[in-house]
């Protein structure tokens, strides 16, 4: 009897566990499917009730803006609305100007699409979405209006109302029913980043730096993308937008300093100076020990408070600890004191930045209500953009050409479904402009479109003919909506879902009249496929990001950034850092952490950050100096810039010789009249650090691609 009881209890526990798992993992997805259906049905009902021309447009809008997270739906809807309004205004202008002649009309339209494609590439996140929609709206309003210009205004206002209905339904449903908040994601991401960084810091001397750094970078941009949507989120997250921004900026600083420090240690080890390297690691040891509590990162508020205290203690006791270490090493022969001082300066910076990061982190995860960072107190720039105009121009030309090619086909063969083809062509060329691997993206999207075409056939021919009222109509479209929702909720098949939803609701047959029209169906399907083929070919012809030339260009731009840091006296270190990171992020080469290319890019990024920060620090020191040493420093910066502009043995030697000369002058004590000792000290360590970095560039030959490019040029 007892055994049966035990068995029963075990079974109940198992069931409870399974139920909890199901509730946590699968229930949100089912809820999402339900919400999706509800939003679509609501939009359909309102659109039918108001007797709009194309209820399918409202449905398509729902499909486009629905997202798992409620805040994302708001953001998408907001930008969708802006994009649509701008697109409609431009369509009306275009029809007003060029309704009588199609050539100037299409040329102006192609320019507009080019502009939208460029915009979608320049801006991040959902802002880029607004541009996609501005282009797409031209196709659904401007192109039909060319056939009947006197109906332009009516077409425009109906489309706008339909889209408005779709947006409102999507927003209402996702806000009110089982809302999924971004705040949980943000918290998870922030905690995960802290955990990873603590483990890395606690490890002392980690084996690989590039992969964790890459991971950090992806997290940073992920967090920034969440933060961008937080503005429209309606819970706590919005209030803490500035705090999240501050956390991002501070995390960026501390992770960079850590990487720079570890690279210094690795370089010393590679040069066979393990005594200095070990001493530096020993200096960092208290920090590494404080970060991990019993081998795991601090999690609850008490542990975090203890960690903060430990970092403060480390900061306060550092000078004493350092001189103690120096004394211990003094007995050993040929220890380079300067290298230790350089490392110690970096460590001090690391501790300061870690303390700042911890402060914000604690605010965000532990004392949420007690205090929030006010946007007036914290005026760090948002993540700065570094825009490379070449890929943007290529994408814009591609978008414009796709439209022109499809328009040319439309005009030459008097194609009934030309407008549909151009619509899809414009959607694909603007939507996937920023994709790192556009050909694969298009392929996935095409699978979705084919699925959609097949489903439309079944719907139009068999089901719609039997649908006699609203409920029946809902039942007919339910399979397509559920499939779209399910596919787009899973990241690996999101594009298939998008393709399916877009194709289905572009073609489904209840716009003007219910039912099927086989000729129109086949025309439309062929049009969609031709559009996909044209834009696929255009993408594969102009796949800029995949070419080795693009990678060489990114590396060259990184070097140019260092040159800018040397020459442009207004560039701050935060700005430099953000631009360098944005450059790498946009190059699209850092999405696969296992990839050799990604690692090489991050390696180049680390090298750039290292030298760039040192150069900027040098420039900051230079502002307080008297005329003579300042002139010397200017000369140094000029030589470094020259070397980074034209990397080569000769320029490197020149820079190194000058640095040796300068360092000799500083250490020889001749600077007494020109400089105070407290000024000379940071100057010396900074210069020495730069010398180390530049000297290391030959031995490792860090930019093979660049060398290859140079070989081509020669």
Using CB under 8 A as the criterion, which residues of the chain lie in contact with another protein when the complex forms?
70, 153, 157, 172, 175-176, 179, 234-235, 238-239, 369
Q: How far apart are CA 347 and CA 353, in angstroms?
A: 10
Our CB check for another protein shows the closer of 111 and 239 to be 239
Closest separation between CB of residue 222 and another protein, Å? Answer: 24
Our CB check for another protein shows the closer of 237 and 641 to be 237
Encoded tokens for 654: 């020149």
| 231 dihedral zone (left: phi>0; alpha: psi -120 to 50; beta) | alpha
Q: Which of 326, 638, 652, 617 is nearest to 660 (CA)?
A: 652
Our CB check for another protein shows the closer of 80 and 619 to be 80
Our CB check for another protein shows the closer of 166 and 438 to be 166
Angle, CA of 162, 167 and 173, to the nearest 5° = 125
- Other CB atoms within a 10 A radius of the CB of residue 333 amount to 5
Our CB check for another protein shows the closer of 173 and 481 to be 173
Angle, CA of 522, 524 and 528, to the nearest 5° = 115
Our CB check for another protein shows the closer of 372 and 567 to be 372
Our CB check for another protein shows the closer of 178 and 437 to be 178
Closest separation between CB of residue 209 and another protein, Å? Answer: 41
Our CB check for another protein shows the closer of 234 and 269 to be 234
Closest separation between CB of residue 689 and another protein, Å? Answer: 45
Closest separation between CB of residue 92 and another protein, Å? Answer: 11
Closest separation between CB of residue 346 and another protein, Å? Answer: 40
Closest separation between CB of residue 82 and another protein, Å? Answer: 14
Closest separation between CB of residue 654 and another protein, Å? Answer: 58
Q: Which residues are CB-neighbours of 609 under 8 A, at least 6 positions away?
A: 256, 259, 260, 577, 580
DSSP label at 626?
Answer: -
Encoded tokens for 232: 């429209």
Residue found under tokens 């990839």: 595
Encoded tokens for 709: 């490019």
Closest separation between CB of residue 179 and another protein, Å? Answer: 6
Q: How far apart are CA 37 and CA 479, in angstroms?
A: 10
CA 605 vs CA 245, 259, 498, 612: distances in Å: 22, 11, 34, 10
Encoded tokens for 574: 């935060």
Our CB check for another protein shows the closer of 28 and 179 to be 179
Closest separation between CB of residue 45 and another protein, Å? Answer: 17
Q: How far apart are CA 183 and CA 365, in angstroms?
A: 11
Our CB check for another protein shows the closer of 156 and 449 to be 156
Q: In sequence order, which ranges of 490-626 are alpha helices (DSSP H)?
A: 494-507, 518-541, 548-567, 573-586, 596-622
Our CB check for another protein shows the closer of 215 and 238 to be 238
Our CB check for another protein shows the closer of 96 and 472 to be 96
Closest separation between CB of residue 383 and another protein, Å? Answer: 24
Q: How far apart are CA 21 and CA 16, in angstroms?
A: 9
- Other CB atoms within a 10 A radius of the CB of residue 626 amount to 12
Q: How far apart are CA 576 and CA 468, in angstroms?
A: 63
Closest separation between CB of residue 176 and another protein, Å? Answer: 5
SS3 511: coil
Our CB check for another protein shows the closer of 179 and 638 to be 179
How do beta strands 296-297 and 292-293 pair? Answer: antiparallel
Q: How far apart are CA 180 and CA 182, in angstroms?
A: 7
Instruction: Determine the length of the chain.
Output: 714
Q: Which residues are CB-neighbours of 24 under 8 A, at least 6 positions away?
A: none
Please say whether the beta carbons of 182 and 72 come within 8 A.
Answer: yes
Q: Supply the DSSP string of 451-479, one letter for each residue.
A: HHHHHHHHIIIIIGGG--SHHHHHHHHHH
Tally helices (H) and strands (E) across the chain: 28, 2
DSSP label at 515?
Answer: S
Our CB check for another protein shows the closer of 32 and 136 to be 32
């Amino acid at each position: 009897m007892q055994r049966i009881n035990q068995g029963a209890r075990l079974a109940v526990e198992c069931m409870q566990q399974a139920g909890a798992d199901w509730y946590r993992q699968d229930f949100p997805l089912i809820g999402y499917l339900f919400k999706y259906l509800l939003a679509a049905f609501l939009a359909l009902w309102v659109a039918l009730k108001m007797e709009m021309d194309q209820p399918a447009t409202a449905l398509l809008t729902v499909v486009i803006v629905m997202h798992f997270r409620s805040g994302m739906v708001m953001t998408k809807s907001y930008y969708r609305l802006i994009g649509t309004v701008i697109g409609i205004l431009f369509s009306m202008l275009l029809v007003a100007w060029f309704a009588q002649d199609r050539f100037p009309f299409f040329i102006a339209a192609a320019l507009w699409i080019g502009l939208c494609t460029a915009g979608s590439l320049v801006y991040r996140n959902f802002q880029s979405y607004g541009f996609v929609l501005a282009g797409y709206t031209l196709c659904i309003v401007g192109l039909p209006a060319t056939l009947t210009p006197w109906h332009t205004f009516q077409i425009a206002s109906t489309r706008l109302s339909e889209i408005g209905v779709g947006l409102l339904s999507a927003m209402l449903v996702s806000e009110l029913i089982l809302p999924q908040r971004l705040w949980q994601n943000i918290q998870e991401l922030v905690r995960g980043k802290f955990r990873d960084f603590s483990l890395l810091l606690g490890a002392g001397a980690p084996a690989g730096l590039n992969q964790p750094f890459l991971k950090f970078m992806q997290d940073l941009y992920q967090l920034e993308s969440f933060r961008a949507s937080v503005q429209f989120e309606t819970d706590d997250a919005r209030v803490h937008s500035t705090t999240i921004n501050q956390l991002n900026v501070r995390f960026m600083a501390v992770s960079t300093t850590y990487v720079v420090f570890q690279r210094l240690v690795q370089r010393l080890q590679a040069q066979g100076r393990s005594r200095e390297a070990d001493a530096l690691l020993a200096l960092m040891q208290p920090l590494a020990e404080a970060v991990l509590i019993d081998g795991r990162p601090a999690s609850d508020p008490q542990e975090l408070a203890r960690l903060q205290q430990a970092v403060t203690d480390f900061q306060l006791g550092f000078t004493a600890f350092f001189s103690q270490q120096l004394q211990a090493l003094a007995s050993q022969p040929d220890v380079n004191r300067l290298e230790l001082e350089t490392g110690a300066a970096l460590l001090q910076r690391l501790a300061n930045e870690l303390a700042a990061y911890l402060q914000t982190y604690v605010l965000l995860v532990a004392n949420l209500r007690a205090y929030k960072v006010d946007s007036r107190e914290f005026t760090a720039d948002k993540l700065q953009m570094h825009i490379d105009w070449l890929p943007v121009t290529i994408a814009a030309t591609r978008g414009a050409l796709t439209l022109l090619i499809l328009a040319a086909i439309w005009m030459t063969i008097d194609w009934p479904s030309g407008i549909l083809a151009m619509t899809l062509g414009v959607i694909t060329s603007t939507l996937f402009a920023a994709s790192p691997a556009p050909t694969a993206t298009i392929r996935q999207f095409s699978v979705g479109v084919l699925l959609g075409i097949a489903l439309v056939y079944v719907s139009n021919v068999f089901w719609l003919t039997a649908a006699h009222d609203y409920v029946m109509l809902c039942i007919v479209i339910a399979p397509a909506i559920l499939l779209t929702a399910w596919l787009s909720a899973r990241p690996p098949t999101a594009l298939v879902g998008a393709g399916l939803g877009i194709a289905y609701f572009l073609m489904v047959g209840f716009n003007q009249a219910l039912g099927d029209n086989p000729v129109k169906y086949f025309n439309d399907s062929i049009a969609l496929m031709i559009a996909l083929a044209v834009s696929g070919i255009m993408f594969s012809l102009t796949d800029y990001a995949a070419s080795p030339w693009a990678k060489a260009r990114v590396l060259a731009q990184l070097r140019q950034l260092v040159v800018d840091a040397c020459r442009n006296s207004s560039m701050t270190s935060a700005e430099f850092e953000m631009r360098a990171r944005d450059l790498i992020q946009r190059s699209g080469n850092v999405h696969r952490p296992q990839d050799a290319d990604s690692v090489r890019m991050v390696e180049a990024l680390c090298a750039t950050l290292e030298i760039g920060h040192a150069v900027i620090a040098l420039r900051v020191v230079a502002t307080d100096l008297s005329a003579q040493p300042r002139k010397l420093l200017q000369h140094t910066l000029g030589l470094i810039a020259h070397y980074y502009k034209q990397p080569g043995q000769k320029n490197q030697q020149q820079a190194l010789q000058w640095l040796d000369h300068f360092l000799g002058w500083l250490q020889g004590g001749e600077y007494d009249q020109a400089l105070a000792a407290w000024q000379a000290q940071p100057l010396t360590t900074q210069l020495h650090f730069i010398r180390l970095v530049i000297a290391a560039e030959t031995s490792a030959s860090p930019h093979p691609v660049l060398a290859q490019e140079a070989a081509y040029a020669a």
